Every structure is written in structure tokens, then in C-alpha cells.
A = this chain, B = another copy of it.
């Protein structure tokens, strides 16, 4: 039978299957489910992990900065931090240099969870990305890095 599932050669040759945007979307969907699966045991998601990770990098990010960097609506950042803070992984601190904004700092527990999450994510990237060898993966990372952050040459 031809009509099994993931489509045959004709599909791969189709117009959309060579659109960068389509490939990006599909690759992202793959990586998304793999990432969520790995983070679930830690109570994190692909959505919340970067928030915790950036806090743990001691960047003291404001919520506005997080929203910009993660391309999320500020209101979503509120919800994500509410969750992390409720679980005792991060704290909001009023920025004394601009009392309108709040910076995110990790708790000790937050650091521990983050370290494990980092490792989990690293491992998760192995699974869907093993079709590429190390050099190819680095090439892909470099190209996507320029795509994702066009501002800086």
C-alpha cells in the first residue's frame, strides 16, 4: 500500500516541502514535542524552561526583556513566572534602579532544577537531531542563530 502515513517521495518533492518556512515549522514541531516530553518530569515545559534558564544565567532579566527575547506577550511572561515562583524556583525582585520593573532571580532549588533541565534538553536534542552529525548540527545552529537574531550582524 502506498498511503501509509508519512508520505512518499512525491510529497517530499512538493512545493511546500521545500519552503524554508514549512520546514522550520515542521522541525520546530518535532523538537517541541521531544523537548516537552523530556522536561515534563521536572515540571517544566519548552515554554517555561528558557525563563528559568535565563534567570539562572544571572542576567537579572526584567519581564519586559524576557518577553522581547522569547517573543512572548508580556502577559504570558506573567503567567510563566507565576508558575515558576509558585513552585519556589524563582523570585521577583523590584529593580531598584527602575521600580516599575522586576528582575528575575533564581532560588537555590531553581538552580538545581535548571541544571537538571539543561542536561535533559541537551540530551533531548540528541534524539531528533541524530540524523545530523556534529558538524552539520553546528552549521545548522549557526545559520539559525543568524536567522533568529537578525539585528546583530
Q: Do residues A20 and B150 form an inter-chain contact, with CB atoms below 8 A?
A: no
Whole-angstrom distance between the Cβ of A105 and the nearest chain B Cβ: 15
Q: Does the CB pair B140–A12 fall under 8 Å?
A: no
Given contacts A3-B65, A46-B21, A129-B20, contact A148 B30 (CB under 8 A): yes
Binary contact readout A46-90 vs B (1 if CB under 8 angstroms, 0 otherwise): 100110011011010010110011110000000000000000000
Binary interface encoding of chain A residues 1-36 relative to chain B, with 1 for a CB under 8 A from any of its CBs, else 0 = 001011100111011111111111111111110110
- Count of identical protomers in the assembly: 2
* Cβ–Cβ contact A18 & B139, under 8 A: no
A125 at the interface (CB under 8 A from B): yes
Known A-B contacts A24-B31, A29-B71; A15 and B118 likewise in contact (beta carbons under 8 Å): yes
Q: How many residues of A contact B (CB 8 A)?
A: 68
For the complex, would chain A's binding face be called helix, strand, loop or mixed by DSSP majority? helix
Which of the residues B24, B64, B143 comes within 8 Å of A139, measured between beta carbons? Answer: B143
Q: In the complex, are the beta carbons of A57 and B15 less than 8 A apart? A: yes
B68 touches A16 (CB 8 A): no
Question: Contact between B146 and A143 (Cβ–Cβ < 8 Å)?
Answer: no
Q: Please give, as numbers and ranges, the residues of chain B lying within 8 Å of A139 by CB-CB distance.
A: 139, 143
